[in-house]
Homo-oligomer: A and B are copies of this chain.
């Protein structure tokens, strides 16, 4: 038996093994979606033992989230600048739903609610030890708006800055499709009034 065939003798460790697991997890997630995603199947595909997964990720939803962060579609880092707060928000949220649609929103079903069992909502859009992409995008959009005189960012509390994320998650958790109309309603009826409120 040649050395290369002796798979059972070649143990991967550290990053190598981690990458293999995440890669298998991402493949499985694409194929079957979160609900049918099982730890045993990921382990099998990665030729790893189940405890290997649990030594790194405390639970299934955590592994799935890591795989999405590593291999999933990335949020476009460029912030729109359409000339108005409303336009920027509309453009930004439409980018966001496009990403979800690209991957297939139904593939995520169950993941968000599972994640919410162990992490607060404002960490949902953040990789570990990194900041909340969504919220920082909103902050940049609001700073642009302030330059135009549309808002006064000194009046905006953390709670208000988290509101777009909360509303977006709320739509994603619900089974309905997030359409452009829904986005427009959220922006016109809720976000703009809140951001432009006078204290």
Contact = CB atoms under 8 A, between A and B. Distances in A.
Interface of A: 110, 113-114, 116-117, 120-121, 157, 159-160, 163, 166-167, 170, 173-176, 185-186, 189-190, 192-194, 196-197
A173 B114 contact: no
A186 B197 CA distance: 13
Interface majority SS on A: helix, strand, loop or mixed? helix
Contacts of A113: 113-114, 116-117
A149 B162 CA distance: 30
B174 A120 contact: yes
B110 A173 contact: no
A196 B114 CA distance: 35
A121 B174 CA distance: 7
Contacts of A174: 120-121
A144 to B, nearest CB: 21
6 contacts: A113-B117, A116-B173, A120-B174, A121-B170, A159-B186, A193-B194
Count chain B CB atoms within 10 A of each CB in A120, A186, A193, A196 and give the residue with the most: A193
B114 A159 contact: no
A17 to B, nearest CB: 31
